[in-house]
Amino acid sequence: MTRAKAKTQRLVLLSLAVGAVLVAVFLGMSAMSSQASLFYAPGDVQKMGLPLDRAVRIGGMVKTGSLERLPDGVTIKFIVHDETTSTIPVRFTGIVPNLFREGSGMVAEGRFEPDGTFVATEILAKHDENYMTPQLAGQNMHKSESLE
């Protein structure tokens, strides 16, 4: 009789351990999903509406002619667009990356305001696969000149 009782106790303990691990995994996954920063293109925002309740990332191209520097010297406003006709007005206070310019790609992290303006807390400039730093571009130029 004691042998059956010990076997039942082990089975109960094993079941409790497996249950605890599953609960921990579920809680971890739900915490990560609420902290995840989702990526939206202007067309996505137009289709799905403004995600006002969380931090998100937006991406697209900086519309040519839309970059405006405010008098405080550190705040800029610009418009992001994608291949659709959708646009997102963006406001950012801080120092932008050297590669950030009109007509180039960018990704911004921040939050939407109820009026549809995206207030960015961080901006990342994107470049194409052929990008070279100015120093490397200068070195390659001198090498090609010396080969001729």
Q: For the residues of 74-98, what is the DSSP string, one character each?
A: SEEEEEEE-SSS-EEEEEEESPPPT
Each domain of the chain, given as residue ranges in start order, spans 1-35, 37-125
Over range 25-35, report the average pLDDT.
73
pLDDT tens track for 61-100 = 999 999 999 999 899 999 999 887 889 999 999 988 888 8
pLDDT at 128: 57
Which is more confidently placed, 118 or 133?
118
Q: Which of 52, 114, 44 is nearest to 86 (CA)?
A: 44
Looking at domain 37-125, its CATH class is mainly beta
Give the Cβ contact number of residue 123 at 10 Å: 20
CB-CB contact of 106 with 126 (8 Å): yes
